[in-house]
């Protein structure tokens, strides 16, 4: 920082005063102390040296003050700071990961950094002296570059996305900022361009877009993209007065593959199915995976149902061939639902919904087939929605009822137990049979909540009967596969038993054969946990699923129930007789009780008794009824 004029003048006066003072001291010493000319000469020499030294010091001090006053020291300091800043800027310029290019006002490249060399593949020598158009990709027209130059002229800078070319010919995207550099007079002297290679970002964006519209496993279009393409196809069909069809495909019993061979094999099978469908229909069709084991095909220029049915038949045929998956030879069938535009729907959402309704019909009809959408299906679909909504309200409004069907000992004809069955007392439609609402409850997931409620009501009622002195050996409660698969079932049952105070030995839980075999290891663990509570377990509808005898002997069950489908043909159907005889023999050999369902005639009951079946239930013994209407004394008589 420079000093003021007054400080400089003060330094000069001080130098003058010191000079006069020193001369006076020197004269006084010469006159007073030296009378010898030799001593005088020696002192004069010493005095000269001292005066020269003092003068040099005073001159240095004065010069420093004078330079500070003139601002020279500050300028030198600023120069040193500028040099340091330039050195730091040069390091940053060369070390930054963004490419930097400097041109003069005529557009000739005068400087580049190391990042530009790495990004473009050109050396500095190959770039310097040339113009930036050596990097042009050819993707941008003259209008693009005119807009860039116009922005530089008007505002002095421009930034945006630009595609350039590397030395090896690869075209890649950059995010670039260009700025004009002016001198003190406002004249442009240079242009500086700073750019970043955004090809990795572009690739990530492309991949994210693909993932958002394609199935990750099969790489087929997903539901979102399929719906969009369907909307486009419908718009095109309207313009050209044509039509199109939508096939919704669901693999039959795919869950068995997952459960028996694992999800990895299941995923590979889905990929094989996708490949087979694509080969069948070719590139002119849109094949999509909507989720799980559900696929869809959009067939353009297909206004008639007969053509769509032919395509569906081709799907069924191509699915019959063996699938080679990791040394496994797998066979799998499919069900297909068909919806045609414009006959069945006016938009993509309706077309998908109607095809789904047709698919539901195909699966209900026995699978491995196709069904065509009809208006009747819409009526049924609306009915299912209404029932599902009413069923939710029924749970809240306590419209459900528990009915009890007697179970008799076939030898003594005595009532020894009951099975709890749910009924729905609708406020408008009256008593609704379970055949109407149980399938809907299963599809909507309400069945687990219903089962839990029935379990609580049945345990409470059994406790009331026990307190009243009614002698019953058990109350049986059905557990759906949904509730049985939940880990909280153990907690639910133990809580209900504790709250109602019922002896666990009086409770029998019935689990369907399919629920046990769907995930056999988990089912085995669940059943062992339940058995620790002291209750009994029974396999319901035995013989209708895919039982493994090896797995059956590992299950901690006490009873097998013969499905009423086998009992209905007794005693005339020899096949039914043989099956029932085999089940009874199997049960007895394994030390299990056996119970027959659906007994409606005395001849059926007599044959079952002759085959040494233990227990029976059915309309011949008694229909399901409220607890208050049970006849404890009724014991039907049989011949024998």
Q: What is the pLDDT of residue 505?
A: 95
Q: What is the pLDDT of residue 33?
A: 52
* 499-512 confidence digits (pLDDT tens): 999 999 999 999 98
The larger pLDDT score, comparing residue 497 to residue 513, is at: 497
Beta strands in 544-633 (DSSP E): 559-562, 593-596, 615-616
What are the tokens at 252?
A: 């039959």
Task: State the pLDDT confidence band at 200, using cuts at 50, 70 and 90.
Answer: confident
3-state secondary structure of 427: coil
Inter-residue contact 248 to 358 (CB < 8 Å)? yes
Task: State the pLDDT confidence band at 399, using cuts at 50, 70 and 90.
Answer: very high
* 537-587 confidence digits (pLDDT tens): 999 877 665 455 666 777 889 999 998 888 998 998 898 899 899 999 988
Q: What is the pLDDT of residue 65?
A: 59
| Percent of the chain surpassing pLDDT 70 | 81
Q: What is the pLDDT of residue 640?
A: 47
The domain locations on the chain are: 5-75, 96-202, 214-373, 398-629
Residue 191: partners with Cβ closer than 8 Å, 6 or more residues away: 102, 103, 104, 105, 107, 152, 178, 179, 180, 181
Beta strands in 292-433 (DSSP E): 294-300, 323-325, 328-330, 334-341, 370-372, 400-409, 415-426, 430-432
What does DSSP assign to residue 140? S
State mean pLDDT over 208-221.
83
Q: What is the pLDDT of residue 509?
A: 95
pLDDT exceeds cutoff 60 at 256:
yes
Spatial separation of the C-alpha atoms in residues 222 and 290, rounded to whole Å = 6
Q: Is the dihedral of CA 603, 608, 610, 611 positive or negative?
A: positive
Count CA atoms within 13 Å of residue 640 on its CB side: 18
* 527-544 confidence digits (pLDDT tens): 999 999 999 999 987 766
State mean pLDDT over 341-364.
87
pLDDT exceeds cutoff 70 at 222:
yes
* Straight-line distance from the first to the last Cα atom of the chain, in angstroms, rounded to the nearest whole number: 129
- pTM of the complete model: 0.52
SS (H, E, C) 166-208: CCCCCEEEEEEEEEEEECCCCCEEEEEEEEEECHHHHHHHHHH
Residue 575: partners with Cβ closer than 8 Å, 6 or more residues away: 569
CATH number of the domain located at residue range(s) 96-202 in this protein: 3.30.450.20
3-state secondary structure of 288: strand
pLDDT exceeds cutoff 90 at 594:
yes
pLDDT exceeds cutoff 60 at 49:
no
* 268-300 confidence digits (pLDDT tens): 999 999 999 999 988 778 999 998 899 999 988
3-state secondary structure of 544: coil
State mean pLDDT over 263-267.
89
CB atoms within 10 A of CB 298: 24
Q: What is the pairing mode between strands 507-512 and 536-542? A: parallel
CATH number of the domain located at residue range(s) 398-629 in this protein: 3.20.20.450
State mean pLDDT over 341-361.
87
The larger pLDDT score, comparing residue 190 to residue 284, is at: 190
At residue 540's C-alpha, the angle toward residues 539 and 545, to 5°, is: 90
The listed CATH number (3.40.50.1820, 3.40.50.300, 3.30.70.270, 3.90.180.10) that belongs to domain 214-373: 3.30.70.270
Note if the bond before 383 is cis, omega within 30 degrees: no
User: What's the mean per-residue pLDDT of the chain?
Assistant: 83
The larger pLDDT score, comparing residue 191 to residue 550, is at: 191
3-state secondary structure of 163: strand
pLDDT exceeds cutoff 90 at 389:
no
Q: Which long-range contacts (CB under 8 A, 24 or more apart) does 575-581 make?
A: 577/607, 579/543, 580/608, 580/611, 580/613, 581/611
* 58-77 confidence digits (pLDDT tens): 565 666 655 555 555 556 55
What are the tokens at 202?
A: 């572009």
State mean pLDDT over 615-622.
93
Inter-residue contact 315 to 247 (CB < 8 Å)? yes
User: Which backbone phi and psi does 571 adopt, to 5 degrees?
Assistant: -95, 5
* 439-492 confidence digits (pLDDT tens): 888 877 888 899 999 999 999 999 999 999 998 999 999 998 888 888 889 999
User: Which backbone phi and psi does 570 adopt, to 5 degrees?
Assistant: -75, 145
State mean pLDDT over 78-82.
62
State mean pLDDT over 107-134.
90
Query: Position of tokens 């909504």?
Result: 389
Inter-residue contact 431 to 423 (CB < 8 Å)? yes
User: Which backbone phi and psi does 629 adopt, to 5 degrees?
Assistant: -100, 0
Query: Position of tokens 């310097």?
Result: 128
Q: What is the pLDDT of residue 549?
A: 67
* 225-235 confidence digits (pLDDT tens): 999 999 998 88
CA distances from 638 to 413, 475, 501, 594 (A): 8, 24, 37, 19
Task: State the pLDDT confidence band at 437, using cuts at 50, 70 and 90.
Answer: confident
Spatial separation of the C-alpha atoms in residues 455 and 458, rounded to whole Å = 5
Please name every residue paired with 203 in a beta bridge, in sequence order, or none if there are none. Answer: none
């Amino acid at each position: 920082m420079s000093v003021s004029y007054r400080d400089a003048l003060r330094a000069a006066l001080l130098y003058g005063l010191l000079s006069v003072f020193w001369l006076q001291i020197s004269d006084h010493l010469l006159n007073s102390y030296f009378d010898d000319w030799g001593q005088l000469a020696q002192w004069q020499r010493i005095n000269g040296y001292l005066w020269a030294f003092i003068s040099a010091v005073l001159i240095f001090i004065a010069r420093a003050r004078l330079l500070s006053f003139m601002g020279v020291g500050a300028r030198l300091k600023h120069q040193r700071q500028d040099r340091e800043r330039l050195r730091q800027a040069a390091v940053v310029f060369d070390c930054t990961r963004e490419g930097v290019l400097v041109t003069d006002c005529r557009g000739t490249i005068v400087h580049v950094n190391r990042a530009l060399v790495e990004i473009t593949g050109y050396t500095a020598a190959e770039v310097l002296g040339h113009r930036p158009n050596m990097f042009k990709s050819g993707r941008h027209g003259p209008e693009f570059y005119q807009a860039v130059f116009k922005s530089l002229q008007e505002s002095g800078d421009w930034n945006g996305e630009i595609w350039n070319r590397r030395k090896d010919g690869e075209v890649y995207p950059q995010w670039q900022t260009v700025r004009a550099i002016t001198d003190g007079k406002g004249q442009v002297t240079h242009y500086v361009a700073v750019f970043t290679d955004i090809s990795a970002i572009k690739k990530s964006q492309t991949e994210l877009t693909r993932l958002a519209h394609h199935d990750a496993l099969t790489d087929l279009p997903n539901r979102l993209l399929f719906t969009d393409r369907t909307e486009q196809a419908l718009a095109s069909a309207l313009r050209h007065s044509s039509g199109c069809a939508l096939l919704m495909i669901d693999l039959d019993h795919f869950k068995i593959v997952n459960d028996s061979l694992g999800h990895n094999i299941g995923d590979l099978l889905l990929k094989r199915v996708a490949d087979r469908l694509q080969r069948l229909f070719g590139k002119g069709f849109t094949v999509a995976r909507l989720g799980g084991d559900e696929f869809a095909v959009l067939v353009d220029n297909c206004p008639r149902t007969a053509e769509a049915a032919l395509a569906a038949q081709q799907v069924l045929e191509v699915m019959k061939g063996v699938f080679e998956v990791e040394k496994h030879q797998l066979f799998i069938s499919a069900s297909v639902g068909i919806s045609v535009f414009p006959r069945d729907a006016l938009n993509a959402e309706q077309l998908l919904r109607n095809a789904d309704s047709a698919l539901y019909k195909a699966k209900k009809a026995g699978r491995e087939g196709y069904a065509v959408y009809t208006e009747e299906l819409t009526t049924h679909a609306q009915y299912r929605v209404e029932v599902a909504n009413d069923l939710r309200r029924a749970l809240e409004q306590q419209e459900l009822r528990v009915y009890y069907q007697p179970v008799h000992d076939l030898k003594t004809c005595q009532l020894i137990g009951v099975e709890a069955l749910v009924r729905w007392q609708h406020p408008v439609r009256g008593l609704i049979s379970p055949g109407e609402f149980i399938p809907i409850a299963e599809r909507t997931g309400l069945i687990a909540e219903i089962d839990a409620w029935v379990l609580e009501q049945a345990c409470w009622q059994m406790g009331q009967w026990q307190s009243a002195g009614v002698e019953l050996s058990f109350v049986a409660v059905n557990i759906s596969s949904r509730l049985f698969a939940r880990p909280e079932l153990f907690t639910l049952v133990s809580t209900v038993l504790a709250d109602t105070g019922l002896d666990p030995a009086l409770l029998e839980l019935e689990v369907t054969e399919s629920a046990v075999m769907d995930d056999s290891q988990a089912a085995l663990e669940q059943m062992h946990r339940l058995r620790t509570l002291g209750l009994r377990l029974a396999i319901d509808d035995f013989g209708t699923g895919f039982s493994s005898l090896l797995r059956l002997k590992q299950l901690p069950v006490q009873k097998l129930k013969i499905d009423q489908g086998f009992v209905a043909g007794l005693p005339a159907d020899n096949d039914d007789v043989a099956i029932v005889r085999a089940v009874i023999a199997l049960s007895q050999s394994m030390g299990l009780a056996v119970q027959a369902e659906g007994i409606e005639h005395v001849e059926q009951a007599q044959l079952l008794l002759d085959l040494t079946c233990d227990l029976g239930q059915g309309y011949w013994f008694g229909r399901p009824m409220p607890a208050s209407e049970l006849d404890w004394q009724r014991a039907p008589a049989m011949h024998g």
